[in-house]
Amino acid sequence: MNPPLTILAAHAQDPTLQTFEDTVWWVTLIKLFGVFVILLLLTLFTINYERKVVARMAVRPGPNQVGPKGWLQSLTDGMKLPFKEEIIPKTADKIVYFIAPVISATTAFTAFAVIPFGGVVSMFGHKTALQLTDVPVSVLVLLACSSMSVYGVVLAGWASGSTYPLLGGLRSSAQMISYEVAMGLSIVAVFMTAGTMSTSQIVAAQAQGNESSISIFGWHPTTPSWYAVLLLPSFVIYIISAVGETNRAPFDLPEAESELVGGFQTEYSSFKFALFYLAEYINMITVSAFCTTLFLGGWRAPWPITAFWHGANSGWFSMIWFFAKVLILLFGFIWLRATLPRIKYDQFMRFGWKVLIPVNLVWILFLSYVKVANNHLSDTTRWLTIAGIVVVVLLVAMLWPSARKPRELSIEEQLAARPPGSFPVPPMDLQVPPSPRARRAVAERAPATVGGESETKEV
């Protein structure tokens, strides 16, 4: 059966690895400069975007003085930081102290090089894809850049020569490495489904109306074929891991002001602090763009739009859909910051290692079984196996021993259990009992009843 003309036209817009090999060098330089400018403009926009959204949720004005309705506030802040006084601690390692923010900013910019933000367009008479470059292992390039960013954070905390930055750097490295594992496992499902690690080809595999390379017991999803729907557990795990990876609230534990002053960047100021600030927001944009590429169809328009507009994915229009999806994901980052409180560090690490990673492994095993079952097992065997897996999971859930919490002691029992001569500490529920002097004062002020009449004892 021949595919429809609309599908052929859509695939004609998909860039291939050959497209990047034939690109003229000066067109590549133009795209490199364009990516740099886009990231800077998106960073300035995202900072102000976050301030305005959080202000709206908190029912307060927000930035409204600099520029039209305050939209130039982040630009003035960015211009102010390089001219501020730079204070370097005497105990700092000067060379590493300078290299650390450069590593963070460089890896943040490099990661965006393999993300496609549009289809094939005509640029000064040359056909080129709206993507700086692409390689067969582009996704691994992104993971490598995010892994290298850990060095900038750790070295910044160590080179500062101070206690709190060191603690923030160690905490951040443990957090980023832990959630890097969960993020990498969530992407494995995309590899298995798309059959490629090239970002441009992953977008092409999610083309509207294109049958997926994986079938669920004979069913090939067609519309929509976004992996956010087909691989929903991987999509949810990726979103959670991305928030933890970027050290954003409620997972901003490396920069917890109430515990670590400012974390690994406490001793930084002026332009070096601006580099860390820039790297944080570019990382937010990168993980959002990466999520758009892997799970939300990339630069392709959603299904309702393509149903009545066949040219929605052609030319420069494709950039509209890509950045619209990125802004929606950035709004999710801001929404989380405005609504959820910071959690405890041990709870956060336990959630990553004991929940996200095991669930990810089980999900990958299930997808592997589906691919094998589609090729080698009959329909009866498939459904019998699924039924057996469901029964085993239910039995394990019902028979799993529940952890019983110890009975909470009352305030009197906590005071009685305290060793004699020890320093009194507040109870676990933070309800500090009244002191004996306060009890005597209350008893002395209480009226005494004698013969049915109340008498107040004078002090």
Distance CA 440, CA 435 (A): 9
Sign of CA pseudo-dihedral 416, 419, 420, 426: negative
Cis check for the bond before 224: say yes or no (omega within 30 of 0): yes
Q: What is the pLDDT of residue 213?
A: 47
Cβ density class 304-319: b for 16+ within 10 Å, e for less: eebeeeeebbbeebbb
Question: In the chain, what are the domain boundaries?
Answer: 5-392
Q: Of 336, 333, 304, which Cα lies nearest the Cα of 321?
A: 304
Q: What is the pLDDT of residue 421?
A: 62
**Residue spans of alpha helices (H) in 246-299:** 257-260, 270-295
Q: Are 120 and 31 in contact (CB under 8 A)?
A: no
Residue 151's alpha-carbon distances to 159, 362, 366, in angstroms, are 12, 31, 35
pLDDT by 10s per residue, the chain, length 459 = 444 444 334 444 677 666 676 778 888 898 899 999 999 999 999 999 999 999 999 899 888 888 888 889 888 988 888 888 888 888 888 899 999 999 988 998 888 888 998 888 888 888 888 888 888 888 988 888 888 888 888 898 888 888 888 888 888 888 888 888 888 899 999 988 888 888 888 988 887 544 444 455 454 444 457 898 888 899 999 999 988 888 887 888 777 666 667 778 888 888 888 888 888 899 999 999 999 999 998 888 887 777 777 777 877 888 889 999 999 999 999 999 888 888 888 888 888 888 899 889 988 988 887 777 777 666 677 677 777 777 777 777 677 666 566 666 666 676 676 666 666 565 555 555 556 666 666 667 666 555 445 444 444
Q: Of 430, 425, 107, which Cα lies nearest the Cα of 275?
A: 107
Q: Which amino acid is at 174?
A: A
**Residue spans of alpha helices (H) in 58-195:** 73-80, 94-111, 138-159, 163-194
Residue 116 forms beta bridges with which residues?
Answer: none
